[in-house]
Amino acid sequence: MATKVHMEALSPTMEEGQLVQWLKAEGDDIANGDILAEIETDKATMELVARGEGVLRKIFLTAGGTAEVGSVIGVIAGADEDISGIAGVSGGGVTAAPTAPPEAPAEGAPMPAAQTLPAPEAPAVSASATSAPATTAAATLPASAANEGRVKASPLARRLAEEMGVDIARVPGSGPGGRVVKRDVEAAKASGVAAPVDTPATWASDGAEYEDIPTSQMRKAIAKRLVTSIGPVPTFYLTVDVDMGRVIEARKSINAMLEKDGMRVSINDILLKAIAAALRQHLNCNAQWHDGFVRRFSAVHLGVAVAIEDGLITPVIKNAHAKGIAQISAEVRELAGRAREKKLMPDEYTGSTFTVSNLGMLGIHEFTAIINPPESGILAVGGIVETPVVVDGEVTVRPRMRITMSCDHRVVDGAQGARFLQTLQGMLEEPTAILL
Amino acid sequence: MAETKTKKKRGKKGDVLDRYGVSPELALDLLRNMLLYRRFEEKAEEAYAIGRIGGFCHVHIGQEGACAGSIKPLREDDYVVTAYRDHTQAIAKGVHPNAVMAELFGRVGGASGGRGGSMHVYDKSVRFMGGHGIVGGQVPLATGIAWKIRYAEEDTVAIVYMGDAAVNQGSFHESLNMAAVWELPVIYVVENNEYGMGTAFSRVSKTDMSTKPVPHGVPASVVDGQDVLATYAHFRELIAEVRGGGGPRFVDLQTYRFRGHSMSDPVSGTYRPTEEVERRKAEDDPIAVLRDKLLAAGHLDQAGLQEMDDEARQIAQDAADFAEASPVPDPSTLYEHVWAEINEHGRLFFDGRDR
Amino acid sequence: MAVMTYREALNEALREEIQHDPDVFLMGEEVAEYDGAYKVSKGLLEEFGDKRVVDSPISELGFTGLCVGASMAGLRPVVEFMTFNFAFLAIDQVINNATKMYYMSNGQFPMPIVFRGPTGAALQLSAQHSQACETYYSHAPGCKVVTPATPADAKGLLKAAIRDNDPVAFMEGELLYNVKGEVPEDDDYVIPLGVADLKNEGSDVSIITHGKMVHVALQAASKLDKDNISADVLDLRTIRPLDMDAILETVKKTNRVVYLEEGWPYAGTGAQIVAMIQEEAFDYLDAPILRVTQADVPMPYAKSLEILAKPSADRVVEACRNVLYR
C-alpha cells in the first residue's frame, strides 16, 4: 500500500518548509522510521521520518524547494505498485526566494467625510439681564455654565429634550457636575426658557414645507379675544417720541437708594408708575365701552403684557397709581415669573383697566398694539434708541423712546388721547412730575 | 538470545493459548484489533502532522495490548470511562473508526459531532462514556455510573482507565473510598506506563502502585499489559467477579508508551532514556509479542499477518478519507446543545443572541 | 395558603420530588441520619430509605463527581453542599463535567442534576464560610442558577430545578431557613425558571436584587416610603435563565436603578445586570446605575466589622437617593 510523504508540521507554528536535502534517493528501500530528508522550518532544521515501508518511488519536491505543510512531496510504495494516481507538489530546485507577499487589499475605502453637525446657534437674543424688562420673551438664563461646549445630560434627559423640542444646551443642569436631568428638562419646557425659538432649525431632512401645530387653549383665547377688538372697535393711533434721559438718571439714583435692600428697578417699572400717574389725570382713558354706557375707573389697574411660551398673558398690577416704584417693580417681577410657569390665578390676570406692552428689548422702535377689550386704550412701548435730534438748533444725540397709543374712538377722542400722552411725556421727561 | 528471553517471559511455545483459556479465533481477533489500533493511531499522527487534527492528540501506541485485552471481555452493555488517551478504547468499545477519526478532524461525522475533539470522544449508544480532559476527573464519574448500576439493580459493570499519575489526585482516593463503602461494581484500571507525562511515577510517590487502593479497602491486582492474552484472561475473571457483586477492584495494568505523552511532547530525552524506549519497542511491543506466539504456534502465517495488517491500514486510511470528506460543522450549530432544556421564560444566552 | 418556614418549604419540595420520580435521590454530608446540617432533609431518610437519601463521606469532589456520573447514566441526583463555600472543592466536576458535557458530547449526555445548599453570609462565620457564590456558576454557559428568597419561591423553584434537564445551582441561605411565609397549598406547586417577581411596587426607583437581599431591599423600600419615595423591588429569583423583560419594564417605569447583592462588586451579578440595562435601556436612564454590594473585603469575624461589610437597608436608601438626585 502506498504511503504519501507529506511536508509535515515539524514545529507548532510552521506553515511551510524548505527541503534542504533528501537523505534517500528515488529507488531506495525504505523502512518505517527511516530518516528521509532534512527540512528547514521556521525554527530549525528538522528530520522528516518515513511513515511507511517500501521503495521511495517518487520525489516531487527536490532540494531547495519549498512546500506548504500538508502537501505531498514524495511517495513510498511497493516496487511494482501503480502510483500514477498520486499527485504531488511540483517545483523545487528553485531558490528559497519566497513568493511576494500578497498585496494588502487595495480597496481601502476613503475616510468617510467627517459628518458636519449643524453648528449650535448662538441665542439671537442678548443675554444681558440688567436692562431686561420683565415682559421680554425668552429671557435667557445663562447657558449651562462651564460646559466647555459639551453638555452633560442623562440619556433620558436627552431623549426628553429632543421629544419636547427643548434645546438641551440651554437647560441649566441640577445634577452632579451640572448634569442636566429629567426634572431640568421638564422645568425648562414649562418656562419656555430653552425653547429654540430663534434658532433656525436645520432643514428637516425629509424636506417638509410646513408643519401644522395644533392650537393651544391660549392661542384660541387670544384669537377669540382680539378678533373682537380690532374688528368691531374703531381704533386710532397716536405716537409720541420721548426723551428718556431724565428717566435714566432717575433710575440710577433710585437704584442707589434701593441697593441696601438688594432691590433694583427697571426703566419699565418707572414707566409703569408714570403711566399710572398720568392716567389718574386722564381718567377718560381709563374707561370701558359698554352697551349703553362708558365705565370710567378711578383706580388704575395696569395690565402688563408678558410673553410666555406659546403666547401672551397680562398679569395685573392692582392700584398701580397708589404703589411706589419699588413695589411695582417687585410685583411685576413676581407676577411675570409665575406667569411663565403658568401659575397665575385668574384674578391676577383679569381686571385691568389699561394695558402696557413693551417690545423695546426685542429691538422694536415702534409698533401698534391691539387693545385688550373691554379696555379702551393700550400703550405700545418701543426701545430706547440713541437718536440724533435737534436741540436749541443743534444736532445732538439723545436717548429717545417711542410710545404709540391705540384708542377706542367710542370712548377716547383724539384730543383726549393726545393730552394723556402729553402728560405722560412730561412725566417721563421730568420725572419729578410723577410726584404731583 | 533475544528470542529465548522473550519466550521465557511469555510462556512455553505451543500451549500458550491453553494456558489462558483463549481460543485461536479469539487470539487472532485480539491481534487484528491491536493492529487496527496501531495503524489507526499512526494515521492519526500523520494527520496531525499535516494539520488535519489540531490541539492535543494523545496516541496509544505501545499500549494496544492493555486496551484490547481489558475491553474484550466486557459485555456490550457494560460502561467504559477513560481519560484523554481515548481513541483506541473508543474503537474497542464499539465506536466506528470513521467516527473517531472524524471527531479528531473536528467534523460533523465525528462521534461527538466535532464538538469534543480527541479528548472528548463520546458514544452513548455503545456506552463509551468519554473521553475526559482533567486528570482524575473521570474517576468519580465511573463511580457514579456504578452507583446507578447498583441503584437500578442491574448487572452491568463500569470500568475506568487512568494514567499512573492520576492516582495522586484526590478524586481517585475519594472515589475508591466511596466505591468500597457502597460496594459499587466498578473496576479502576491504571494504565501504568511508568511516566505521568514527563515525570517518573517513582519520583512522585513514596509507595508502590499496588499499595494505593489498600487503605480504601479495594482489592488490587497487577497484570502485564504488553501480554494481551494475560490481560484478557485477567480481566475476564475480574469482570465476572465484579458483575457477581464482588464490589470494586483495582488493577495495575502495566504497559509502556512508545511515543511522547502527546503529539507536542518529546518521545524521550530529558525525562526517560532513549535507549529505554528503543529497548521496550524492540522487546515489549504487544503486537509483536502476540504475533510471535501465534506464528510460532502455527495459528498464523506471514501471508495471514500481511493480510491482517493491510486490512488494518485500509480501515485506518478509510477512516482518514471519511474524516476528510465529512463536512465541518455548520456555523448555525454553534449554539446547539448548550442547554438540554430551553426554558419557556428568561434568557439563557448573554452574548446578544437571545435579544 | 399554608404558612411555613423556608426550610420546611424546601423539605416539602424534596419530599414531593423524591416521591414523584424514582430517579431522584439526595446525597450530601449529614443529609440522612442527621436530618441535614440545617434540617432541610429532616424526616426524609425515614420516609424513603438510604438508597434515596444518602450520607456521603466528606469528599465534595468525589461525591459531586459520583452524582455527575450517575446523571450521565440516567439518574436525577440532588447534591447537597453543606454550604457553597465547600463546593469550591467540587467545582471541577460541576463546571468541567456537569456544565460542559452536554455540549462536548454533542447532546448525548444531558445532566439533570441539582447542586443545592446555602450561599452567602450568616452571622460571624468568618471569611471562609461567608462567601456568595452565584457568579462562579452563572458565568459558565450550561449551568442554571436559582436564588429563591421566600418559602413559596423556595418550594416552587426547587421543584422546577429538580425537573429541569440541565445542571442547576440552587442557592439558599442560612439566614433564610427560618423565614416564614405563605406557600400555596397546591399538590404540585412549581414556579418556572426565568420569571422574576415584583416584591414591592413603586414608581420612583427600581431596586433589583436576588436571594436573601430581597428582604434588605424591602426594608429599604419601607424606609423610602416614609419620605414619599416609592420603590419597585424586583426579585430576580433566577439568575440564569434571566427575566430581562421584567428588568426592562421596571427600568422604563422609573428611569433609575439600584442593584443590591450580597456578593462582592467585581464582576458580581449586578455588574452583569448593569451592563445589560445600559445596553438595552440607555435612553431610559436618568442616572447611572448604582450597586450596593458587600464591601470589597473578605468577611471579617468581628460583629461590628461584619455589619459594616454587609449591605444594609440604609446603604440602599442612600443609593436610591443618589440616583434620584435627592
Chain-chain contact of B137 with C108 (C-beta, under 8 angstroms): no
Residues in chain C with CB shorter than 8 Å from the CB of B81 are: 69
Average pLDDT over residues A97-102: 40
C283 touches chain A (CB under 8 A): yes
Tell me the per-residue pLDDT of A210-227, one tens digit each, with 9 for 90 and over: 556 666 666 677 777 777
Question: A201: burial class by Cβ within 10 Å (0-12, 13-18, 19+)?
Answer: exposed
Quick: pLDDT tens for A301-342: 999 998 887 788 899 999 999 999 999 999 999 999 888 887
Q: Is residue A319 helix, strand or coil?
A: coil
Interval A392-419 mean pLDDT: 93
pLDDT of residue A89: 82
Looking at A164, A198, A232, the residue that finishes a domain is A198
The pLDDT value recorded for residue A209 is: 54
- For the stretch B156-172, pLDDT in tens is 999 999 999 999 999 99
Domain-located, residue A120 = no
Residue C106 touches partner B, C-beta closer than 8 Å: yes
* Residue C77 backbone phi and psi in degrees, to 5: -75, 150
Average pLDDT, chain A: 80
Cα-based distances in Å from C221 to A34, A123, A134, A251, C67? 80, 45, 45, 56, 42
How many other CB atoms are there within 10 angstroms of residue C125's CB atom?
16
C-alpha cell at C149: 428568597
CB contact under 8 A, A156 and C255: yes
pLDDT tens for B280-290 read: 999 999 999 99
Query: B122 with B111: CB under 8 angstroms?
Result: yes
Parent domain of A29: 3-77
Would you call B340 and C111 a contact, using CB atoms and an 8 Å cutoff? yes
Q: Is B317 an 8 Å CB contact of chain A? A: yes
Residue A279 sits in the same domain as residue A420? yes
Alpha-carbon distance of C294 to C292, in angstroms, equals 7
Residue-level pLDDT at A91: 57
Q: What is the pLDDT of residue A300?
A: 93
Indicate whether B105 pLDDT > 80: yes
Contact C205, C224 (CB under 8 A): yes
Q: Quote the minimal CA–CA distance from B48 to chain A in Å.
A: 8
Whether residue A332 sits in one domain with residue A276? yes
Do C105 and B175 lie within an 8 Å CB cutoff?
A: no
Listed range (B25-29, B153-157, B196-200, C5-9) with the worst mean pLDDT: B196-200
Query: B45: which chain A residues are within 8 Å (Cβ-Cβ)?
Result: 51
For range B37-61, the mean pLDDT: 95
Q: Look at residue A212 in the predicted model and tell me its pLDDT.
A: 64
In the complex, which subunits touch A with 3 or more CB pairs below 8 angstroms? B, C
Q: Are C6 and C151 contacting, i.e. CB atoms less than 8 angstroms apart? A: yes
Same domain, A261 and A308: yes
Q: What is the pLDDT confidence band of residue B320, given thresholds at 50, 70 and 90?
A: very high
Does any domain span residue A294? yes
The whole-number pLDDT of residue A141 equals 37
A297 and A224 within one domain: yes
Higher pLDDT, A347 or C293: C293
Residue B196 pairs in a beta bridge with B199
Residue A206 domain-assigned (yes or no): no
Are B302 and B35 in contact, with CB atoms under 8 Å apart? no
> Active site includes C139?
no
Name the least confident of A94-98, B63-67, C9-13, C201-205: A94-98
Instruction: Say what the pLDDT of residue A312 is.
Output: 85
What letters, b where the CB count within 10 A reaches 16 and e where it falls short, cover A289-321? Answer: beeeeeeebebbbbbbbbbbbebbbbbbbbebb
Write out pLDDT tens, residues B235-274: 999 999 999 999 999 999 999 999 999 988 888 888 999 9
Residues of A with CB under 8 A from a CB of C: 154-159, 174-176, 181-183
Give the pLDDT band of residue A202 (cuts 50, 70, 90): very low
Min Cα distance A407 → chain C (Å) is 53
Among C255, C285, C325, the residue with its CB nearest the CB of A174 is C325
Residues of chain A in contact with residue B35, where contact means CB-CB under 8 angstroms, are: none
Best mutation target among C76, C108, C244, C279 (most B Cβ atoms within 10 Å) is C108
Do residue A154 and residue C286 have CB atoms under 8 angstroms apart? yes
Closest Cα in chain B, distance from residue A106 (Å): 29
Q: Are residues A237 and A371 in the same domain?
A: yes
The stretches in chain C having pLDDT less than 70 are none
Cβ-contact C146, C239 below 8 angstroms:
yes
Strand ordering across the sheet containing A45-49 = A45-49, A35-40, A16-22, A66-68
Q: Which tens digit of pLDDT belongs to each residue from A360-390?
A: 989 999 999 999 888 999 999 999 999 999 9
Among the ranges given (A162-176, B23-37, B68-82, C3-17), the one the predictor scored with the smallest mean pLDDT: A162-176
Q: The C-alpha cell of A345 is what? A: 390665578
A1 touches chain B (CB under 8 A): yes
User: What share of chain A has pLDDT > 70, as a percent?
Assistant: 78
C60, C80, C261, C306: the active-site residue: C60
Given a contact cutoff of 8 angstroms between Cβ atoms, the answer to whether A325 and A273 are in contact is yes
User: Cell numbers at residue C180, please?
Assistant: 416564614
* Domain-located, residue A124: no
Nearest chain C residue to B147 by CA distance is C70
Q: Which range is least confidently modeled, A12-26, B79-93, B135-149, C148-162?
A: A12-26
Give CA separation, B321 vs A207, B90, B137, in Å. Answer: 65, 19, 33
Judgement on whether residues A296 and A396 belong to the same structural domain of the protein = yes
pLDDT at A261: 86
Residue in the structure block whose three cell numbers are 503529539? B263
For residues A161 and A13, membership in a common domain is answered with no
Query: β-strand C144-146 against C290-292: which pairing, if any?
Result: unpaired
Q: What is the pLDDT of residue A291?
A: 77
Q: What is the pLDDT of residue A12?
A: 65
CATH number for the domain harbouring residue A17: 2.40.50.100
For chain A, the domain total comes to 3
pLDDT (mean) for A22-41:
90
Given A156, A176, A183, which is nearest C284 (Cβ)?
A156
Residue C65 in contact with partner chain B when CB distance is under 8 A:
yes
**Residue A310: in which H helix or E strand, if any?**
none
Instruction: Kindly state whether residues A191 and A227 are assigned to the same domain.
Output: no
Neighbours of chain B (3+ CB pairs under 8 A): A, C
Interchain contact C285–A (C-beta under 8 A): yes
Q: Using pLDDT thresholds of 50, 70 and 90, give the confidence band for residue B353.
A: confident
* Same domain flag for A134 and A233: no
Judged on CB neighbours under 10 Å (0-12, 13-18, 19+), A147 is middle
What is the predicted pLDDT for the residue at A177? 83
Predicted local distance difference test score (pLDDT) of residue C160: 98
Helix, strand, coil % in chain A, rounded to nearest 5: 30, 25, 50
Name the residue among A155, A176, A181 with its Cβ closest to that of C283.
Answer: A155
Q: Mean pLDDT, to the nearest integer, of B213-217?
A: 97
Q: A376 and A236, same structural domain?
A: yes
Tell me, what's the pLDDT at A210?
A: 58
Give the gap in angstroms from C-alpha A159 to the nearest C-alpha of chain C: 6
Q: How far is A68 from chain B (nearest CA, A)?
A: 9
Q: Which residue ranges form the domains of chain C, and what is each CATH number?
A: 2-183 (3.40.50.970), 197-324 (3.40.50.920)
pLDDT above 80 for A11: no
- Cβ of B42 within 8 Å of Cβ of A51? The answer is yes
C287 contact A CB<8A: yes
pLDDT tens, position by position, A51-85 = 998 999 999 999 989 999 999 999 999 998 999 88
Confidence of residue A111 (pLDDT cuts 50, 70, 90): very low
Chain C: partners with 3+ C-beta pairs within 8 Å: A, B
CB contact under 8 A, C285 and A182: no
Q: Which of residues 34-73 of B touch A (CB under 8 A)?
A: 42, 45-46, 48-52
Task: Using CB atoms, pick whichever of A1, A9, A51 lies closest to residue B51.
Answer: A9
Distance from CA of A208 to the nearest CA of C (A): 27
Those of residues 173-192 in C touching chain B at CB distance below 8 A are: 192
Chain centroid to Cα A295, Å, comes to: 49
Lookup: cell for A397 = 444725540
pLDDT recorded at residue B4: 41
Of A144-158, A250-264, B11-25, B300-314, least confident by mean pLDDT is A144-158
Residues A338 and A227 grouped into a single domain: yes
Q: Are residues A335 and A429 in the same domain?
A: yes
pLDDT of the residue at B352: 87
The CATH classification of domain B2-333, taken from the options 3.20.20.70, 3.40.50.720, 3.30.450.20, 3.40.50.970:
3.40.50.970
Nearest-neighbour CA in chain A from C205: distance (Å)? 14
Chains A–B, number of C-beta pairs less than 8 Å apart? 25
Per the CB < 8 Å rule, is B151 touching C51? Answer: yes
Task: Determine contact: A9 vs chain B, CB below 8 A.
Answer: yes
